[in-house]
């Protein structure tokens, strides 16, 4: 009987089930075992992350890391009130969801208890601050 695969997971990194194929022929079973052992946490169906150890317990990864794994390398930008408030225009809007522009999906998704509103739209690769000013005006 062979020993179970012990993948080298990086804390703070998000993984899709298909990313676990390099360690096992059955990545779904490997993911379930790693979740049981506490080495992975499930953020959504087919989306997992290796928690970052902290003195307060395991911490989730950055939201950009979760979105990077979800979109599998497709471009995306995070917009919405956090970005608009940082512009210093006096906007103090708050949304219950984070607005994400991407090139693949549209809809509301929840990853690890955080809600995201995904919009499939065209956007510049590296948007300047002016892009977010126009975005704020369009969403008022």
Q: In the prediction, which pLDDT does 1 show?
A: 36
Q: In the prediction, which pLDDT does 93 show?
A: 67
Cβ(9)–Cβ(20) below 8 Å:
no
Nearest C-alpha neighbor of 45 from the set 23, 68, 16, 66: 16
Domain boundaries, the chain: 1-71, 74-138
Burial of 118 (0-12, 13-18, 19+ CB in 10 A): buried
pTM, two decimals, is 0.84
Profile the chain (140 residues) by mean pLDDT over runs of 10 residues. 73 94 92 94 95 92 94 92 80 80 94 93 90 83
Distance, CA of 81 to CA of 90 (rounded, Å): 11
Q: In the prediction, which pLDDT does 108 show?
A: 95
């Amino acid at each position: 009987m062979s020993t179970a695969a012990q993948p080298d997971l990086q804390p703070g990194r998000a993984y899709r089930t298909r990313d676990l194929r390099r360690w096992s022929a059955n990545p779904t079973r490997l993911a379930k075992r790693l979740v049981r052992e506490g080495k992975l946490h499930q953020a959504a169906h087919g989306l997992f992350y290796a928690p970052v150890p902290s003195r307060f317990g395991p911490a989730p990864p950055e939201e950009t890391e979760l979105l990077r794994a979800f979109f599998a390398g497709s471009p995306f930008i995070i917009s919405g009130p956090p970005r608009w408030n940082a512009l210093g225009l006096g906007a103090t809007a708050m949304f219950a969801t984070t607005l994400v522009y991407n090139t693949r999906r549209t809809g509301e998704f929840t990853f690890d208890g955080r809600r995201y509103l995904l919009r499939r739209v065209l956007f510049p690769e590296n948007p300047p601050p002016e892009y977010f000013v126009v975005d704020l005006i369009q969403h008022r």
